[in-house]
Amino acid sequence: MTEVDFYLLKDHSAQGRVRLACRVANKAYQLGKRVFIHTESAAQTRQLDDLLWTFQQNSFVPHEVFRQDSDNPPPVLLGHDAEPDAGSEVLINLATEVPLFFSRFERVAELVNEDPAIRQLGRKRYSFYKDRGYALRTHEIKS
């Protein structure tokens, strides 16, 4: 069964959540996991695509925007309007809703900051998973 981790970022900025997504993706990549980062929009996908190259000095996270026709995709894929195939193990969700395909993954990382709207939507997602019996963990993250 899918395990769900909620990362509670002590930060109000949208940029902080995106940077946290990079950190979580990098850690999963370093552990040999395949990752799909589900974003809220095309703009957020582009922002994340750019940031994954520069978020941390001396790090490299091989990634690309998800395409159905990719023959040899890198370990980290990004997308906002795509439903990935079964190749990934970790889902990082930056969208406001729980993606319909979340249960295909071994782990889901939900990233929530202190912005009141993001926090409220995070609570709804937490309730969604809890009501369905998924194992939930929370982690408090300093920015």
- Per residue of the chain (143 residues), give pLDDT as tens: 899 999 999 988 888 999 999 999 999 999 999 999 999 999 999 999 999 988 887 778 999 999 877 778 899 999 998 888 767 899 999 999 999 999 999 999 999 999 999 999 999 999 999 999 999 999 999 87
Beta strands in the chain (DSSP E): 3-10, 35-38, 63-65, 76-79, 90-93, 107-112, 135-142
CATH code of the domain covering residue 67: 3.40.50.10110
Where in the sequence is the domain holding 77, given as residue range(s)?
A: 3-142
> In total, how many domains does the chain have?
1
